[in-house]
Structure 1
Amino acid sequence: MRLALLSLAFLLPATARAAEPGPWATYRGTPQRTGNTDGAAGPEKPAILWSVKSTDHFLAAPVPVKDGVYVAGIGAFNRPSAFLYPFAGKAAPTATWVKSAPYLKLASVSSPAVAGELLVFGDGLHQDSGGVLHCVNATTSKPLWQLVMPGTLIHLEGAPTVAGERVFMGGGAAGAFCVELDKATLEGKEYGLADVVKMQEAKWKELVAKYEEAKAKKDDFAIPPDDSQLLKFVPKKAWQKGEGKWHVDAPVNVAGDLVFVPTSYLDKEKVGERALYALKAATGETAWKKELTYNPWGGATVAGDLVIVPGSSVGYYYKELRGAKGDVTALDLKTGAQKWRKEIPTGGVLGCVAVSDGLAVCTATDGKVRAFKVADGERSWLYDAKVPFFAPPAVVGGVAYAADLGGTVHAIDLKTGTAKWTFALAKETGAPGMVYGGVTVHGGKLIVATCNLDGPFANKETVLVCIGSK
């Protein structure tokens, strides 16, 4: 295997995208958190095009990467894995590549940011002390640089955002930080990304040559090289804010010159802060701050001149569903002034809000999907799935797609709030499972992955499914 040498033009996103992330360079594909970037709605009559059963648990939503789909899994004893499957797969497609130990040491629940030929994602879970921000080649999965962030309650669970040539990310107790996508250091010397690629390719060739030489000498201890032996480049850090004061597990969002950072308060550990910060993208300085009633686990959604934030009194714990409360709050993007707020006394809103066609659509742990008018917060419709939701909705082509904790996908008419169809993954695949990460809509197809770490299907096999038209 070799590390593809690519020209800098293909490695980096265009600088014109600095004001707004490109497709899938931010959580759920767009700052509006639609779960779609190409405008193509899903099928009118759903059918399984392909599926992959697994013993891994998929907490993060799948993400389209060129002609493939990326998904991260957690195996037994928190064994980490990341897979790229061909999007136009068949009944049970074979992964294009798989990353695991020894390169990955911690499991990931972070959806990656896609930037040209690059994938950027974090790792580490709540119980881990420390996490790593990874940048790898999307085609080969070969690592380019890593930012190691050690410390108690530091973990990179949320999705990063790539805007221009910078990466913005939250790191639990590490607060929020920004690194240069195209600049990295090695042994105190700074390199551009094109040089990083060349040096990593040369190192890989060297490792392979040594292995082949050892095999030729019939060395019984000859071991094939792996990615953990490549050079350890470290991205250049631009700024870091809120370290030891905030707890940022949710994905950050970027609009223009502002970065929106959701921070939560941990009741058990008695640390953190329950608020949304707007930071200046260039320096990390605070532009404004808004205290929140509930924890913003889903992160902030940009909707024109508004920022819309979900809130929940509980986290992603199945046993805590009873008695959960939540809200949806719309703030002025430039000042943080509250424009409207809707209390949801019967359920927490854990997933982000998806905005399309003047509506802010959210799911809740009370089993309902709600659509509020972006302009004034008035409710447009309510859809009752009768099964709790953790995952955020996707919205495209006049349809909202939501997947519940029973593993059923609901297609809801965006104008009326009525069901167009429902699709039960357990019935169709024989693998019951809960959906945490949300439906991804791409190329007129839906990609859904399940998780059975907890709840009624605990430790049963999971499934990654592509749903389209036969």
Structure 2
Amino acid sequence: MRRPVLLRAAIVLGLLALIAACGGSKKENVEPPAELTEFSPTVDVSEVWSRSIGDGERLLSLRQHPVVSGGRVYAADVERGEVVALDAANGSELWSVETELRLSGGPGVGEGTLAVGSLKGDVIALNPDTGSERWRAKVSSEVISTPAIANGVVVVRSNDGRVFGYAATDGERRWVYDRGVPSLTLRGNGSPMAADGVVYLGYDNGQVVALRIEDGVQLWEQTVAVGEGRTELDRMVDIDGEMIVDSGELFAASFNGQVLGIALDGGRPLWNREVSSYAGLALGGEKILLSDRDGTVWALDRSTGSALWKQEALAHRWLSTPAIHGNYAVFGDLEGYLHWISLENGELAARQRLDKEPIRATPQVEGDMLYAVSIEGQLGAFRIN
């Protein structure tokens, strides 16, 4: 099992207290978030519906987001142990299932299977149409990332560095990939990403690994960042946020490190950019969108990594990984606001408030709708008019 870890972006960002034996940070040392300023919206965004989906993750720092597929929103709740399916158009409940587990990683869906993990290492697979249970399995540690489902395999990452492949049909374990983790890391795991028979994982040691999804054999690994500094804190180079896999290329960001472009064929580096981020990346056209650890939003050229623009109005607001909604990048923040930023020039375009509590999970987009959830379990759907 892992030694005590930090809450998401904890002491390094000066934003959250450390958990358990790791000690704590003092309130007076926390960098205050930038005050929101008035601006003239350039796009009309409306809330279509919102509802509670349970108690939420609260201070567990799981970044537990819903998943949207086939006109449905699937979400899981930690305390209630409930998985729920909602109509994506109006938020009405289609079905719900009590699992009696503390569900933690957020659900993954694909190939007619819905899978979710728990804080005690349980994995449960459900029928996404009805919620009926298909199988259960057990991994070696808590699951705080979303399973990936592709090529008939459910890929589950546990918090101790191991990755498991299960048959989607019956839960038979097909393979295990074991990789150690540093003694001190940020709280969080990047979710496995599957494409073309390969699953990609970002690790807390700053490396990206490619595994063959059929049998878990490692195809290549590439270092995104190397930990440097006098303390373990300085040497943390976690890759915890979402990576981008698209058109033969992968892009990943590390904490205390950089953004790296990687060729999927062999893992060859394409370019690097010195931007440190605890969150993930999103691809909007030919632009890579991210926020750095100070809350500055960047747009990087996909081909070269050069900066196209940056937006500093949301500094120290604990921004989520962005989602691409039309011609805008959307970030959640620590006060429950969603911010739409123009992909063209980086200007603030719209703002909506979902809740008074933070939005840490990555917003999800399907069609013209964006879905976001707060740490208190308030889920909302928004549309650009």
Question: Of residues 114, 117, 120 in structure 2, which corresponds to 1:122?
Answer: 117
Letter of the structure 2 residue corresponding to residue 249 of structure 1: N
Show the counterpart of 1:444: 368
Show the counterpart of 1:300: 243
Question: Given the superposition, is the C-alpha separation of residues 106 and 361 from structure 1 closer, same or farther in structure 2, using an over 3 Å criterion?
Answer: same
Show the counterpart of 1:328: 259
- Contact residue 81 and residue 104 of structure 1 kept, 8 A: yes
Show the counterpart of 1:132: 122
Matches within 5 A, 1:376-395: 376-384=304-312, 385-395=314-324
Question: Given the superposition, is the C-alpha separation of residues 86 and 121 from structure 1 closer, same or farther in structure 2, using an over 3 Å criterion?
Answer: same
Distance in 2 separating the partners of 1:305 and 1:87: 31
Distance in 2 separating the partners of 1:368 and 1:463: 26
- Contact residue 151 and residue 197 of structure 2 kept, 8 A: no
Show the counterpart of 1:288: 220
| SS of alignment partner, residue 254 of structure 2 | strand
Question: Of residues 259, 268, 281 in structure 1, which corresponds to 2:199?
Answer: 259
Matches within 5 A, 1:56-67: 56-58=55-57, 59-67=63-71
| SS of alignment partner, residue 74 of structure 1 | coil
Q: Which has the larger radius of gyration?
A: 1
Residue 393 of structure 1, CA deviation: 0.8
- Contact residue 66 and residue 106 of structure 2 kept, 8 A: no
Which is worse superposed, 167-176 or 50-59?
Answer: 50-59
How many pairs does the alignment contain? 323
Distance in 1 separating the partners of 2:53 and 2:167: 36
Residue 60 of structure 1, CA deviation: 1.7
Show the counterpart of 1:109: 105
1:173 has 2:160 as partner: yes
Matches within 5 A, 1:396-407: 396-407=325-336
| TM-score, normalisation: structure 2 | 0.76
1:47 has 2:51 as partner: no
Q: Which has the higher contact order (CA 8 A, sep 6+)?
A: 1
Show the counterpart of 1:311: 254
Residue 174 of structure 1, CA deviation: 5.3
Show the counterpart of 2:343: 414
Distance in 2 separating the partners of 1:175 and 1:445: 35
| SS of alignment partner, residue 448 of structure 1 | strand
Question: Of residues 135, 140, 147 in structure 2, which corresponds to 1:145?
Answer: 135
Question: Given the superposition, is the C-alpha separation of residues 245 and 441 from structure 1 closer, same or farther in structure 2, using an over 3 Å criterion?
Answer: closer
Letter of the structure 1 residue corresponding to residue 357 of structure 2: G
Show the counterpart of 1:249: 189
Q: Among all aligned residue pairs of Structure 1 and Structure 2, give the percentage whose two residues are the same amino acid.
A: 19
Show the counterpart of 1:358: 286
Distance in 2 separating the partners of 1:390 and 1:134: 30
| SS of alignment partner, residue 311 of structure 2 | strand
Cα offsets for 1:149-204 (capped at 9, x unmatched): 2x4xx12221122222122221222511222212x2xxxxxxxxxxxxxxxxxxxx
Show the counterpart of 2:271: 340
Show the counterpart of 2:78: 74
1:99 has 2:97 as partner: yes
Letter of the structure 2 residue corresponding to residue 239 of structure 1: W
Cα offsets for 1:60-99 (capped at 9, x unmatched): 2222243331222233xxx43322222222xxx5533333
- Contact residue 398 and residue 413 of structure 1 kept, 8 A: yes
Distance in 1 separating the partners of 2:53 and 2:316: 24
Residue 396 of structure 1, CA deviation: 4.2
- Contact residue 53 and residue 75 of structure 2 kept, 8 A: no
1:434 has 2:355 as partner: no
Show the counterpart of 1:20: none
Residue 243 of structure 1, CA deviation: 5.5
Distance in 2 separating the partners of 1:162 and 1:55: 25
Distance in 2 separating the partners of 1:68 and 1:255: 22
Residue 54 of structure 1, CA deviation: 6.2
Cα offsets for 1:300-328 (capped at 9, x unmatched): 3213232111112xxxxxxxxxxxx4531
- Contact residue 153 and residue 213 of structure 2 kept, 8 A: no
| SS of alignment partner, residue 241 of structure 2 | coil
Distance in 2 separating the partners of 1:55 and 1:443: 25
- Contact residue 259 and residue 273 of structure 2 kept, 8 A: yes
- Contact residue 55 and residue 77 of structure 2 kept, 8 A: yes
Residue 340 of structure 1, CA deviation: 1.8
Residue 342 of structure 1, CA deviation: 1.7
Matches within 5 A, 1:210-289: 235-242=171-178, 249-264=189-204, 273-289=205-221
Distance in 1 separating the partners of 2:315 and 2:181: 38
Distance in 2 separating the partners of 1:283 and 1:306: 22
Cα RMSD, aligned residues only:
2.5
- Contact residue 319 and residue 331 of structure 2 kept, 8 A: no
Question: Given the superposition, is the C-alpha separation of residues 400 and 134 from structure 1 closer, same or farther in structure 2, using an over 3 Å criterion?
Answer: same
Residue 469 of structure 1, CA deviation: 5.9
Residue 260 of structure 1, CA deviation: 1.2
Q: Which runs of 5+ in 2 are unaligned?
A: 1-41, 58-62, 227-236
- Contact residue 107 and residue 114 of structure 2 kept, 8 A: no
